[in-house]
Amino acid sequence: MELDKDNCIKMNDGNKIPALGFGTYSPDEVQKSKCEEATKVAIEVGFRHIDGAFVYGTEEAVGRAVQQKIADGTVKREEIFYTGKLWSTFHRPELVRTCLEQSLRKLKFDYIDLFIIHNPMSLKPGADVLPVDENGKFIFDVVDLCQTWEAMEACKEAGLVKSIGVSNFNCRQLEMILNKPGLKYKPAVNQVECHPYFNQSKLLAFCKSKDILLEAYCALGSQRDKTWVDQSSPVLLEDPVLGAIAKKYNRSPALVALRYQLQRGIVVLFKTYTKKRIEENFQVFYFHLSEEDMKTIDGLNKNFSYVNLNGFLGHPQYPFKDE
């Protein structure tokens, strides 16, 4: 999966995706308020791939940032690659387009470049994005994801999205889609948690064999959001091995972690609202890790996941990680 001169990778449907993406997940209202300005800075620095989602609650802010950068001549809409995500309360096939159209309205876009199923666990449809019962347990829905995928394909054929994919799918769930009778389009990408402590080597090999791009979130460890992340978990960017390699190249541990994924053929996302870090992370294209250092980073793998999804315990699609 070679990068072209614009640092993009061609997907299995012929469309190109920028290999480095700017994430817009915001765990609280303070972070959400910074999203618009940070997205504008990212575009000014040179980022063209913006990763968002219906459930993030930041699509209006992202849309405003993109529209302002179009208005001032920095970019054209076709130069921006935006990823949106189908949330779990919209898995029923008749609801898929509803979710997409809500995102399009918030963004003020005519189309989304990549639309992916956010995760394979279906939740009860309704106004609550995280519906829970009186005991605080998630209320699941039972949906055939093959039917959800057919509705995704219909959105592509309607011209509302250019590419479609999935997120948090394991090999078994990917096989379910790939083996679906009458499949029109296979997933272009599978976006998953992936970093040196959880390098997803098995899933990466499977995706490569099926010409599906793997895309990494939590590539720098995690933002340590208390909703999903155990606060006692190790801090990836403080790992001494990563630190030593970073020192060798006169780069930050974050840049080394990002570069590691690019050299594995993985599209990589990062999220920071700090201008200095946004500018720094764009430097990932300007150095190369040796084969020896790549193997050393491979050796950090612990199959350790920062994102704790035990709330989905009992769902028919749980667990969705490949051990």
Peptide bond connecting 131 to the previous residue in cis, omega within 30 degrees of 0: no
Compute how many other C-beta atoms are within 10 angstroms of the C-beta atom of residue 318: 16
Tokens (6 digits) for 263 = 């050299």
204-216 burial, b if ≥16 CB within 10 A, otherwise e?
A: bebbeeeebbbbb
Does residue 303 contact residue 198 with C-beta atoms inside 8 Å?
A: yes
CA nearest neighbour of 113 among 14, 242, 212: 14
Calculate the CA dihedral of residues 186, 191, 195, 198 and round it to 10 degrees. Answer: -70
Alpha carbon 177 to chain centroid distance? Answer: 19
Q: Catalytic residue numbers?
A: 56
Q: Is 195 annotated as a binding residue?
A: no
Question: What CA–CA distance (Å, rounded) separates 247 from 241?
Answer: 10
Does residue 162 contact residue 114 with C-beta atoms inside 8 Å?
A: yes
Q: Which amino acid is at 316?
A: P
Give the CA distances from residue 14 to residues 11, 17, 188, 286, in Å, rounded to whole numbers and listed in that order. Answer: 5, 10, 9, 26
Does residue 43 contact residue 75 with C-beta atoms inside 8 Å?
A: yes
pLDDT of 3 reads 85
Going by the DSSP 8-state scheme, the letter that residue 129 receives in this structure is S
Question: What CA–CA distance (Å, rounded) separates 322 from 169?
Answer: 9
Q: Which amino acid is at 226?
A: K
Query: Could you tell me whether strands 81-86 and 112-117 are parallel, antiparallel, or unpaired per DSSP bridges?
Result: parallel
Calculate the CA dihedral of residues 70, 74, 76, 79 and round it to 10 degrees. Answer: -130
Tokens (6 digits) for 190 = 């599978």
pLDDT of 323 reads 45
pLDDT tens across the length of the chain (323 residues)? 678 888 999 999 999 999 999 999 987 777 788 999 999 999 999 999 999 999 999 999 999 999 999 999 999 999 999 999 999 999 999 999 999 999 999 999 999 999 999 999 999 999 999 999 999 899 999 999 999 999 999 999 999 999 999 999 999 999 999 999 999 999 999 999 999 999 999 999 999 999 999 999 999 987 656 666 667 788 999 999 999 999 999 999 999 999 999 999 999 999 999 999 999 999 999 999 999 999 999 999 999 998 876 666 566 665 555 54
Tokens (6 digits) for 128 = 């609550």
